[in-house]
Chain A
Amino acid sequence: MNIFERKLKKTNPHEKTIFIVEDNEVYAKALQGFLITRFPDIHNIKIYPFGEACLMDLYQNPTVIIMDHLLNTKNRDAATGLSIIKKIKTASSDSNIILLSAQKEFDVVSKAISKYGCTYLQKDEHSFSKVEKLVKMFFHNEMA
């Protein structure tokens, strides 16, 4: 598939897409696998190791974006999740974003929630099932 075909691929506006922005490949693959098992009708669950790559694909109008905050493990210059969220919200203010992070810095979490309307989830043993509930809610809201 060439670049033009890829850009035109998403012709169905009701096709659901999930973006996972996560620099830890193990965690990203596990979350992707979990979502594949829970949402077998969703065929487009994409992983981005840093936020800048996700911004390039925003034209696909993802239904949900699941974003980590610290994305600089492999590339020290990679932007933080919060700065990528700011750019996403500027481009598309109604984007559904889940900040899924082990981040405990109060200012990061509070800014993501209050300024950018994100939902914050702490990475722990329950976070995948919490993501599932939120994704279902976002899908339901999209249909309404």
Chain B
Amino acid sequence: MKNNKHVCDFSYLSETMGEKKHLVKEIIDVFLKQVPEELQSINNAITKADYSIIKNSAHTMKSSVSIMGISELAPVLQEMEALGATASNIEKIKALNQKLDFTCKQAIKEIEREKQNYT
């Protein structure tokens, strides 16, 4: 699948932190560590059909991705959280997770490039 559209919008982060570049870098570093762990956690939960973890992880990720302006993931995570809450439709969760995984991997590449501006 090819997609040249940027998924991240760093304007919120840069406006929020002002001139404090070291703070932006710290947040980026935490994001680059945390989000792959969250993706792994969701993948494991889907394998086990553990709806509680799917719900909690999707809930947490909503906040993480909002900081990086990845707005297209908000409805995806919202739906995953809702399906996790009702413990239903694992096939739909799997489809949503594919979109989540693909978009996050693209976002991570963009964020790694963005990080160069703060080092």
Contact = CB atoms under 8 A, between A and B. Distances in A.
Interface string A19-61: 0000111110110011011000000000000000000000000
A24 B23 contact: no
Interface string A49-84: 000000000000000000000101100000000000
B63 A123 contact: yes
A16 B106 CA distance: 41
A23 B13 CA distance: 19
Given A33-B17, A73-B56, A27 B26 contact: no
B30 A25 contact: yes
Interface residues of A, number: 18
B94 interface: no
B20 A24 contact: no
Given A24-B63, A102-B62, A128 B56 contact: no
B27 interface: yes
Given A33-B27, A70-B59, A73-B56, A27 B64 contact: yes
Given A23-B60, A29-B30, A102-B59, A37 B66 contact: no
A142 interface: no
Contacts of B23: 29, 33, 36-37
Interface residues of B, number: 23
Contacts of B20: 33, 36-37
A36 B26 CA distance: 13
A125 B26 contact: no
Interface string A82-123: 000000000000000000001000000000000000000001
Given A25-B30, A102-B62, A123-B63, A30 B16 contact: yes
Contact of A37 (B18, B30, B35, B62): B18
B57 interface: yes
Most buried by B among A23, A26, A29, A72: A26
Nearest to B55: A70
A33 B60 contact: no
16 contacts: A26-B31, A26-B35, A26-B63, A30-B13, A30-B67, A33-B16, A33-B20, A33-B27, A36-B20, A37-B16, A70-B60, A73-B57, A102-B62, A102-B63, A123-B66, A128-B16
Interface of A: 23-27, 29-30, 33-34, 36-37, 70, 72-73, 102, 123, 125, 128
